Amino acid sequence: MIQVRNLDVRFGPNHAVRNVSLHVARGETFGLVGESGSGKSTVLRTIAGLIESWDGAMMVDNIPLGRRRDRAFFRTVQMVFQDPYGSLHPRQTVDRILSEPLAVHAIPDAERRIARALDEVALPRAARFRYPHQLSGGQRQRVAIARALVADPRVLLLDEPTSALDVSVQAEVLNLLSDLRAARGLTCILVSHNLAVVAHLCGRLAVMQGGQIVEELDEAALREGRAVHPHTQELIRLSRDLEEA
């Protein structure tokens, strides 16, 4: 469903992503993990069409991607960002926020779709006419997920979707994402600096450092301690420390 080959991204002299290749099968959830500044968000944002200064080749659903994305692309691919507050318009109600993608894609039956989207992310019906500041952090992220899903995309790009949330609600939102991708057969890329988060949802993952993929692992290799790169081992130690804390 997603193919990235030899991706390079430069911000002026900063060579932020170097020769990154990855592929994600239909219905698979692929993880990108690594320390802050390693280039994870840049990879995701470049796939999403938010960054134009890249070289390499990318395909989604076997369609090669150019510099600009058309409307059909955003019907297929949606992104959820780390900070639900920053990504939701403060002066729009939840109803308005969820209406917008439907209007953009001229999708009928908004009433029913919005109600279904709210149900899917387990938000109460009463949340529909609230503003983002009237919701909790976890509820805001549920709105951002509902917005991403309301027009029925097939690919979901998740950039640290739980990092800005209280620890107590992180697991709830991760479990919600896990249920939704199974129910909808979504193809996902999940970015996190936290290996435990990625390992929880992803059958396969890549470890990034300094803009490069330094190791690719599947669930079994991770579980059986077959990670070889020192940065991967460092991330494993960090996530164990977090679990014990």
Site residues (CB under 6 A) for ligand ADP?
11, 14, 16, 34, 36-42
Calpha distance 243→245 (Å, rounded) = 6
What single-letter amino acid sits at 101? P
In the list ligand ADP, Mg ion, none, the entry touching 137 (Cβ below 5 to 8 angstroms by class) is: none
Shorter beta-carbon distance to Mg ion: residue 83 or 100: 83
In the list Mg ion, ligand ADP, none, the entry touching 37 (Cβ below 5 to 8 angstroms by class) is: ligand ADP
Shorter beta-carbon distance to Mg ion: residue 7 or 135: 7
How would you classify the pairing of strands 2-11 and 29-34? unpaired
How would you classify the pairing of strands 77-80 and 155-159? parallel
Residues of the shown chain interacting with Mg ion in the complex, contacts defined by CB under 5 A = 41
In the complex, least distance from residue 38 CB atom to ligand ADP, rounded to whole angstroms? 4
In the complex, least distance from residue 16 CB atom to Mg ion, rounded to whole angstroms? 11
In the list Mg ion, ligand ADP, none, the entry touching 62 (Cβ below 5 to 8 angstroms by class) is: none
In the list Mg ion, ligand ADP, none, the entry touching 129 (Cβ below 5 to 8 angstroms by class) is: none
In the list ligand ADP, Mg ion, none, the entry touching 24 (Cβ below 5 to 8 angstroms by class) is: none
Shorter beta-carbon distance to Mg ion: residue 44 or 135: 44
Shorter beta-carbon distance to ligand ADP: residue 27 or 37: 37
Report in angstroms the alpha-carbon separations of 199 from 129, 138, 232, 235, 239: 36, 21, 12, 11, 10
Starting at the earlier edge strand, list the strands of the sheet with 63-64: 14-24, 2-11, 54-60, 63-64
Calpha distance 54→163 (Å, rounded) = 27
Segment holding 206, helix H or strand E: strand 204-209
CB 162 within 8 A of CB 178: no
In the complex, least distance from residue 216 CB atom to ligand ADP, rounded to whole angstroms? 16
